[in-house]
Chain A
Amino acid sequence: MSGRRVDAKVVLLGQEGVGKSSLVERCAHRRFRPGPYQNTIGAAFVAKVISVGEQTVTLGIWDTAGSERYEAMSRIYYRGARAAVVCYDLTDSSSFQRAKFWVNELQNCEEGCRIYLCGTKSDLLEEDRRKRGVDFHDVQDYADEIKAELFETSSKTGQSVDELFQKVAEDYVHFTAFQVMTEEKGVDLGQRSGAYFYSCCHH
C-alpha cells in the first residue's frame, strides 16, 4: 500500500494497550484522552504534516491494532514503511518482548524501514520509579545492536512525543535527499495540493 498523497509511510507497532493510539492522538491533536481504553480495530490512518527546515513532510501514519488477531494481517500495514515506531510500555516487561518480535519481523521483511524504539507512559515512572519494568540500559544496548533510535515518551504529558515524530521526519528528509541523488527518483509533490489533502493534522 503506497500512498501518493503522503511522503513517507510510518507504522506504529506494539503489544495492545501500550499506547500507540494515544501517541498518535498526542502527535496529531495535541491531546490525551484518559477515559476507558478503546482498542484499535484493524488499523487507523492519519496524515501529519511536519516541517523540516524549509520543507514540509507529510507522514502517513498507520496506527495498527496490537491484538494478536490482526498479526497475520500486519504486513499490509508495514509493507513499504519508511519508518516503524515500535512501542512498548515502560512499566510492562512483557510488552518489550513483544517489541522484539516486531523488530525481528521488520528486519526480516522490511529492510528499508528505519526503526524507532519507543518506551511509552514515562509519566508513570515519574510518579513512582519502581514501576519501571524495562531497564533503560538494556534497551539502549538493544537499540544500538539493531541500529534503532530510542525514545521514552508520555502521551499524557506530551514528553518527547513531538521529538520522536520530528526525528522520524528529519531522518526521512535526509535519507530521501540522499536517495534522490543516487536514484534520481524524487517524491511526487504534485499530488500534495488542495482538497486532495488530509486536513485533519494541520497546526
Chain B
Amino acid sequence: MAADVHKKKGWEVPNGSLAPGDGQHTERSESPTPGLAQGTEPGAGQEGAMFVHTRSYEDLTSPEDGAAAARSPEERRGEPAEPSSMEQISKDFSELSTQLTGMALDLEEEMRQSKEGKLEPSPQTTRRDSVLSGKEEEDVTMDAWRMHRKHVFVLSEAGKPVYSRYGSEEALSSTMGVMMALVSFLEAEKNAIRSIHADGYKVVFVRRSPLVLVAVARTRQSEQEIAHELLYIYYQILSLLTWTQLNHIFQQKQNYDLRRLLAGSERITDNLLDLMAHDPSFLMGAVRCLPLAASVRDAVSTSLQQAKAKSLVFSILLSGNQLVSLVRKKDQFLHPIDLHLLFNLISSSSSFREGEAWTPICLPKFNSSGFFHAHISYLEQEMDLCLLLVSTDREDFFTVSDCKRRFQERLRRRGVHHALQEALRTPFYSVAQVGIPDLRHFIYKSKSSGLFTSPKIEAPYVREEEKERLLGLYQYLHSRAHNSSRPLKNIYFTGPRENLLAWVTSAFELYICYSPLGTKAGAISAVNKLMKWIRKEEDRLFILTPQTY
C-alpha cells in the first residue's frame, strides 16, 4: 500500500518558496490599493502562507494538473509595489467607475441572448442604457435560480456509471443528450473540457482519464465554473482511492464497475455538491477562518504545534466549515482544495462524533499517489470543534492519538477553553459590525494567504433560495471577473433588489452586495470604509501568523 507518502516521488511540494518573500510584507498600509504587492493586503500572513498558492479556479481547470498551482514567485514580484496613497485609491476608484457601464451592457446583452435561446455571440447592435431594467434582471435572478437544477454524472471511459447525483428517474430526462454529446466528446483529446448548450441546458464535460464527469445544468454558472465543480468531484473520488489505484484498476479491467469501491461514499459526494451550492469557499478557492481573538488563536496554534509527532504533516482544528488553526510541517503546504475536501468529509458524516476515527485519506492536490492516515475526532461531545491530525504513518495511531490528548491538555493549561467556547457561540459575524448602513454582505479574499472572510448572510436573504440566489450573483460576477478571454477588474452590477460590486486585483478580491437604493458613489466609499474595517479586524478574521513544526 502506498501509505508511506514520504518515500514516494512527488512528496516534495515543488513550491516551498511560494510564501511571499520576506521583503514583501513589511509594509501594511491601512487601506490597500490594487497597486499593493501580494502579501501586504489585509489578511496576508505575516510569516508566510499556509497554503499552496493558487489562482482560484483557473488552477483547477488548467489542463495540466499542478502546473498552475506552481505560480512562480517571479511572476508576482514583477508587479510593481506602488505606494498606497490616497491618490492611488482615488485613481483606482475612478477607473472602477468607468468600467461599470461596459459591464452592465455586457450582462444585458447576454441575458437577451439567452432569452432568445441563442448562445453564440451575436453582434452587439442593440445597446441600451447602462443600468439594467428590473424586469429583465428578474429573469436572471428569479427563474433561473428557481430552476436551479444540476445533474452530475460520473462515468468510466467505457461508459459504466460511477456516480449519479439524482435518482435514475431524474437522470433519465437528460441522459439522451449526455450520451449523444459523450460520443463526440470522447473523440476529443484527454483532460479537455467540453460543453454544449441545448434546450436551455448547459452540458459540461470534464475528462480525467479514466473518468468522464458530466454536468447537466440549468444554472447561469459559466462552463468554467461548472467544470470547476466537476473537478472537485473528481478530486473527491481521488481522495478516496488515490489516482494511482484508480488508474491501476482500469488498466487491469477497462469495464470495471467502480461503484463497488465507492459504495457508501455517495453521501460524501452529494454533500460536496450541496456545499458548493451554499458555501462561497469553493467559488473563492479559499478558506474561511472562525473569527477569533488573535491571542486565543495563537494559544490554540501553539498548543497544536507543541503536540507534534514525527509522522504528523498537518494538524488542523476546524469548526463547521471554518478553520480555527492549521499547523503544518515545515516546507509542506496544503492546497485549499485538499482542505475543502477534508471539510466536506467531516461535514458529511456524523460517524466521526463517536470515538476516534483513523482513516486512509489521499490529498490529491498534495500527492495523488498515496494515502495519508487521518486521525479525526471531536474535542468534546457538545462542541463543534473537530481535530484532524494527518500522519504519514498508518501504524502510528496511538502516537497520534496521544498528540490529541497532549493538545487538549495544553489548551486546558493555557486557559483558552472558555474563550474558544465563547467564539463558537457566534461562528459568524454580522455585517452590521462594519457600520455601513447600505452594505448587506461581502466576500473579501486575501490572495497571498488563500483565506477569505465574509459575514453571515442576513435579511433579506433569509430563505434558502434567496441565499442561493445571492451566491449565484457572486458566482456570476466571479466568472465575469475571471473570464479567460476578457477578465474584468471592476464590475458594477445594478438590479432591482440589490447592487453588487466586484473588485479584483493581484492581491485581493472583493465582492460587495448592497442596497438597491445605494448609489455608485456610495458603493465606492463603502468599499473604502470596508477595506479599512477589514484591515482593522484582520487579526481576528484571518490567521496572520501560521505556525509550523
Q: What residues make up the interface of A, taking CB atoms closer than 8 Å to B?
A: 1-5, 16, 21, 24-25, 28-29, 38-46, 63, 65, 67-70, 72-73, 76, 195-196, 200
Contact = CB atoms under 8 A, between A and B. Distances in A.
Contact of A69 (B261, B354, B374): B261
Nearest to A46: B355
Nearest to A196: B405
Contacts of A46: 354-356
- Top 8 A-B residue pairs of the complex, sorted by shortest distance between their CB atoms: A42-B359, A39-B264, A46-B355, A44-B355, A38-B351, A67-B264, A3-B398, A45-B356
22 contacts: A4-B398, A29-B354, A38-B350, A39-B264, A39-B267, A39-B351, A40-B357, A41-B349, A41-B352, A43-B357, A44-B358, A45-B401, A46-B354, A67-B263, A68-B261, A68-B263, A69-B265, A73-B360, A73-B394, A195-B409, A196-B405, A200-B355
Contacts of B345: 41
A25 B350 CA distance: 13
Contacts of B136: none
Interface in B223-273: 240-241, 260-265, 267
Given A16-B264, A38-B349, A44-B356, 18 more contacts: A1-B397, A2-B398, A21-B354, A38-B350, A38-B351, A39-B267, A41-B351, A42-B360, A43-B357, A44-B352, A44-B355, A45-B355, A65-B359, A67-B265, A68-B261, A73-B1, A73-B360, A200-B355
Interface string B356-389: 1111110000000001001000000000000000
B138 interface: no
A69 B355 contact: no
Contact of A70 (B354, B360, B401, B405): B360
Nearest to A33: B350
Contacts of B405: 195-196
Most B CB within 10 A of own CB, among A3, A16, A21, A69: A69
B243 to A, nearest CB: 15
A39 B357 CA distance: 12
A196 B401 CA distance: 11
Given A1-B398, A68-B263, A69-B265, A44 B357 contact: yes
A126 B58 CA distance: 59
B240 A69 contact: yes
B106 interface: no
Nearest to B356: A45
Contacts of A65: 264, 359
Contact of A41 (B241, B261, B359, B395): B359
Interface secondary structure of A, over-half rule: mixed
Nearest to A35: B350
A4 to B, nearest CB: 7
B394 A76 contact: yes
Of the listed residues B264, B267, B351, B360, the one surrounded by the most CB atoms of chain A closer than 10 A to its CB is: B264
Contacts of B401: 45
Given A42-B360, A73-B1, A25 B398 contact: no
A26 to B, nearest CB: 12
Contact of B351 (A28, A29, A40): A40
Given A41-B351, A44-B351, A69 B263 contact: yes
Interface of B: 1, 240-241, 260-265, 267, 345, 349-352, 354-361, 371, 374, 394-395, 397-398, 401, 405, 409
A68 B359 contact: no
A68 B355 CA distance: 22
A25 B1 contact: no
Nearest to A75: B1
A18 to B, nearest CB: 13
Contacts of B263: 16, 67-69
A199 to B, nearest CB: 10
Contact of B395 (A1, A28, A39): A1
B475 to A, nearest CB: 30
Contacts of B261: 67-69
Nearest to A6: B398
Contacts of B265: 67, 69
A165 to B, nearest CB: 15
* Among A16, A44, A72, residue most surrounded by chain B Cβ atoms (within 10 Å): A44
Nearest to B381: A200
Given A4-B398, A76-B394, A76-B395, A42 B260 contact: no
Contacts of B397: 1, 3, 45
A196 to B, nearest CB: 7
B357 A21 contact: no
Q: Which of A16, A29, A42, A43 gathers most chain B CB within 10 Å?
A: A42
A24 B394 CA distance: 23
Given A44-B354, A45-B397, A72 B1 contact: yes
B360 to A, nearest CB: 5
Contacts of B398: 1-5
B262 A69 contact: yes
A166 B398 CA distance: 24
A180 B345 CA distance: 44
A170 to B, nearest CB: 23
Given A16-B263, A69-B263, A69-B265, A43 B358 contact: yes
A69 B237 CA distance: 11
A70 B262 CA distance: 10
Contacts of A42: 357-361, 374
Contacts of B349: 38, 41
B354 A68 contact: no
A40 B351 CA distance: 6
A69 B241 contact: yes
Given A69-B240, A196-B405, A45 B264 contact: no
A94 to B, nearest CB: 13
A42 B397 CA distance: 12
Contacts of B1: 72-73
B388 to A, nearest CB: 12
A38 B352 CA distance: 10
B64 to A, nearest CB: 28
Nearest to A41: B359
A30 to B, nearest CB: 13
A46 B397 CA distance: 12
Residue of A2, A4, A43, A72 with most chain B CB atoms under a 10 A cut-off: A43
Contacts of A1: 395, 397-398
Nearest to A71: B261
Nearest to A73: B360
